Structure 1
Amino acid sequence: MDNIPVVKLGIVAVSRDCFPMSLSANRRGAVVAEYVKKGLDIYECPTVVENELHMGKALDEINKAGCNALVVFLGNFGPETSETLLAKEFKGPVMFAAAAEEAGDKLLDDRGDAYCGMLNASYNLNLRNIKAYIPEYPVGTAQEVANMIEEFVPIAKSVIGLNNLKIISFGPRPQDFLACNAPIKQLYNLGVEIEENSELDLYAAFNDHKDDPRIPEVVKNMEAELGAGNKMPGILPKLAQYELTLLDWIKQHKGSRQFVTFANKCWPSFQTQFGFVPCYVNSRLTAMGIPVSCEVDIYGALSEYIGTVVSNDAVTLLDINNTVPADMYNEQIKDKYNYTHKDTFMGFHCGNTASSKLSFCEMKNQKIMARALEPNQEPNITRGTLEGDIIPGKITFFRLQSTADTKLAAYIAEGEVLPVATRSFGSIGVFAIPEMGRFYRHVLIEKNFPHHGAVAFGHFGRILFEVFKYLGVEDLGFNQPKSMLYKSENPFV
């Protein structure tokens, strides 16, 4: 995927002047050796930082090496001033970790006291208002620190991505979609740029692509992707025209930013003016690593982008949509899976999920829109959805949101898509999340989250949690186990 960052990682060892500098240098070398064993690449800065002059030299070396993420490694107690100034001056995400003592017979001349030094480092970072990633337990052996660094990479990727991201939106939200409100102040706080456009801008650009000579090639690509699911081939030229419109808009409007995502209007006037629904094109761009959220959901697009970076894979955006009927639960779930009825629900959207994430797919028309726009006739302007059941397997449901009073909030819940036929329409699946009923009431409803949630295909809760912490999210909900009551949960039930 070209629309996500590549991390160039560097490591700098720091040393307190009353400890042997060689101790830090040797321990740094051991960490690098363990990291390289994983088949991963890291720049080992030769300068050990003991004072501010060393800090300037090391900063110059890591910048010349092209590093965009940094590990500050306390091989011993560490110099609290220069090590935190290094984090301040480096223009990218920074992780702090410290060395554990190696052996009982080395506690005289080779004791490093980095366990103590991490306390001072964290205190100084706070004094200087410097953001840094500190692992859950940041002190370890060379192998353990190498593992910490590996876990830091997707966190660093997310931060770099947001600092270089532009969200492009088209059109105001549809009527009665206040739930997807998007105060943009927090976007700027996160380092994200936003370009808001009218639907008319998009319509004009679409018309400019009429008879684009590239359309037949895109149609051919769509036909190959759809295969036997190409049930409405007549709509493909318009969809190809629209796809080219969006891809060209990126080239012309990316500006100073490296990465782009879309939050686009998709109904109700879209169908009558453009002559199709854009869901399939949205799914194709998302598969390219360019998430396109529905209904001008700006924070939905932001969430999808974070999920794309963390998972290095296509994601989707779904409505937390409807309950699983009792007969379906009793017949297909109850005695086969360890989930209560309230743990299950159906995630749905019109047809925006990448074909690689569907068990089967067909080109269809949008059933709900057809009721209003094309009742009792052959579908025409409501064609363009990619429909099918979402592939079974592990998922992470999550969202980052700005509240109406411009405070960041987020939730994360791990679960799975069950191999249960949905018997419905759209891009849809039967989801199961432990304690979903309580989570639905005391996080999603209580915290006023909208109905859209981003879905990453795999369990990424641990990394997402650290990403959201790094971004400064204080209100971070998750599906708490039975033994842990929510603040608003009645203990007498």
Structure 2
Amino acid sequence: MARTYRLFVLGRPTFDVEYARACSAAAIKALRNCGVNLAGSGDILFDNASVAAEIEAQGNVAADGVIIIQSTFTDAEAICMIAERFDRPLHIWALPEPRTGGRLRLNAFCGLNLAAHALGLRERAFVPLYLSADDARVETRVAEWLKSAPLTKPALRAAQAEASEAGAKAAAALRGMRIGRIGEHPAGFDTCAYDTTRLTELAGVSVEPIALSHLFDQARAVADSDVRRTRESLGTVAGLDEVDQAELDRSLRLRNALDQLKAEGRFDAFAIRCWPETFTEYGGAVCGPVSMMGEKRTPCACEADVYGAISSYLLQAIADAPAFLADIVDMDDESDTTVLWHCGQAPASMASAAEPISATIHSNRRMPLLFQFSLKAGRVTLARISQAGGEQFMVIAGGEMEEAPPSFAGTSGVLRLDRPAADMRDKLLSAGLEHHIALVYGDHRAALEHVAHKLGLPVLDLTQ
């Protein structure tokens, strides 16, 4: 007998809506070809009001479970609304996209990542699927997915008490660390939430809230001569003259304003609400300035991610080199590679020498300044102090960054992890990890173990 599922298709209008519609329509066709009955319109729901209306429209339909198609990136609010309303098995299908070197048109995996974290905090089980609807075995894979049980949450282990000079210095550097949190994290980003008391207890870290409007005011007041010097420092960056010059000026002013805030507040790092207000209210991207600040050893975490800032600062201290706080945007089983990406903010010293660093614009908001380059080849270490499931622990992973052209516009790297990509994906999602993870070059896992031991943090090693 055919099973009936409630269907919700989630998306955001800032991504490629027509492409998302085509991909989600193919996914719905595959579901129906498996003999599944679907209750729901199948239209993409672009906001929480549309989700609430769809929940009500489905009324008291007798359903065996809930299927959510993550057609593009979304925050986790809508999925939590659905999960709280329906106490039935929950399946979430995120749609991959080709690595074209151009715009990240869907970014659906990152949305799945946020959902996994939010559902983990609420102890709500779900079954993930990350599969293209045009996969040759899509119907077989979908049928298996619908029969699958939720992934098992991985166990944490005690940190190894290894002696490490770099780890000891990094643990000491965290003590008394000061973070400027500029603006609030976006709604639906539980991944970026933090508790001041826990931070103080963890490592004596302090966070000072700063109004986003204050950053904008500081930027507008920067002297023109200082902006010119900042631009001159980018002499090797191609294409600066090809972007909107007024928007470029406003973007560069943010770099100078961050320098001023750092000096005034003696901050070691920033956690910045980077969108939408930098575009909609101020008129320039902070991504390029974040790259420049990172290169100068002042990590800046997007989306006001305080623990992301701490994790970047920790890796920077261990490696004595800039760190990059990235999203995982693709984990491909066939090539067994993972793409780490962010809009255009990786430190310039991480760039591959295969092509020049170039200036570009934000793929959704269409404003400069962002940097375009692929990450250089070499051994890398990934880490984050996580709060997944409401518990603090150290996440560690390693792999080899491959020499490859950019996967998507902005700054990105193709990574071959020490564990198969499919296994890593299951572990990441079942643990409900945050969507940001910090990266540095070199193998620094022993130092991270030392820091975890000193801080009393258990460890989740994703590549073991």
TM-score by length of structure 1 reads 0.57
- 2:437 aligned with 1:429, yes or no? no
Largest Rg, 1 or 2: 1
Equivalents in 2 of 1:417, 1:471: separation in Å? 29
Letter in 1 for 2:339: M
Question: How much has 1:445 moved relative to structure 2?
Answer: 1.8
Distance apart, 1:325 and its partner CA: 8.1
Name the amino acid aligned to 2:243: M
Identity %: 21
1:394 and 2:387 matched: no
Distance 1:135 1:449, change over 3 A: closer
Corresponding position of 1:169: 181
Tell me how far apart the structure 2 counterparts of residues 230 and 438 of structure 1 sit (CA, whole Å): 44
1:7-86 to 2 correspondence within 5 Å? none
The structure-2 alpha-carbon separation of the partners of 1:352 and 1:230, relative to structure 1 and needing over 3 Å to count, comes to: farther
Matched with 1:345 is 338
User: Deviations along 1:295-347, whole A, 9 cap, x unmatched?
Assistant: 11110110000010000001101101113485xx3xxxxxxxxxxx2xx2111
CA displacement at 1:239 relative to structure 2: 2.8
Counterpart residue type for residue 240 of structure 1:
L
CA positional deviation for 1:227: 4.7
Q: Does the residue aligned with 1:213 lie in a helix, a strand or coil?
A: helix
Measure, in 2, the Cα distance between the counterparts of 1:322 and 1:134: 31
Paired position in structure 2 for 1:367:
363
Contact preservation (8 Å) 1:230, 1:362 = no
Alpha-carbon distance between aligned partners in 1 of 2:375 and 2:242, rounded to the nearest angstrom:
19
- The structure-2 alpha-carbon separation of the partners of 1:134 and 1:383, relative to structure 1 and needing over 3 Å to count, comes to closer
Bigger drift between 382-391 and 285-294 goes to: 382-391
1:317 aligns with 2:325: yes
Answer yes or no: is 1:415 the counterpart of 2:376: no
- 1:175 alignment partner, SS class: coil
CA distance in 2, matches of 1:391, 1:185: 39
1:348–1:429 contact (8 Å) kept in structure 2: yes
Contact 2:401–2:413, Cα closer than 8 Å, also in 1: yes
**Is 2:277 the counterpart of 1:269?**
yes
Partner of 2:212: 199
Maintained 8 Å contact 1:183/1:402: no
Distance 1:273 1:243 in 2: 17
1:201: Cα distance to partner?
Answer: 2.1
Structure 1 residues 434 and 155 mapped into 2: Cα distance closer, same or farther (>3 Å)? closer
Amino acid at match of 1:285: M
1:325-380 superposed Cα distances (whole Å, 9 cap, x missing partner): 85xx3xxxxxxxxxxx2xx211110001011111242110111234xxxxxxxxxx
Q: Which residue type is aligned with residue 422 of structure 2?
A: G
Distance 1:478 1:449 in 2: 12
Deviation for aligned residue 1:226: 1.3
Which residue matches 2:461?
478
1:218 matched residue in structure 2: 230
Where in structure 2 are the equivalents of 1:433-452 lying within 5 Å? 433-435=417-419, 436-442=421-427, 444-452=428-436
Aligned residue for 2:452? 468
Q: CA deviation at 1:168?
A: 0.6
3-state SS of paired residue (2:376): coil
1:247 has 2:255 as partner: no
Note the C-alpha offset of 1:433: 0.6
CA RMSD of aligned residues (A): 2.2
Structure 1, unaligned runs of 5 or more: 1-132, 137-147, 330-340, 371-381, 482-493
- Per the TM alignment, residue 420 of structure 1 is displaced from its structure 2 partner at its CA by 2.4
Task: Name the counterpart of 1:29.
Answer: none
Map 1:54-133 → 2, pairs under 5 A = none
Flag the structure with more relative contact order, 1 or 2, with Cα contacts below 8 A and sequence separation at least 6: 2
Residues 174 and 268 of structure 1 are in contact (CA less than 8 Å); yes or no, is this contact kept in structure 2?
no
Q: Say if 1:304 and 1:455, in contact at 8 Å, map to a contact too.
A: yes
Task: Map residues 172-183 of structure 1 onto 2, 5 A cutoff.
Answer: 172-183=184-195
The residue identity in structure 2 corresponding to 1:197 is I
User: What CA deviation, in whole Å up to 9, does each residue of 1:214-238 have, x standing for no partner?
Assistant: 222222112x241567643724432
SS in structure 2 at match of 1:323 = strand
Q: Say how many residue pairs are matched.
A: 300
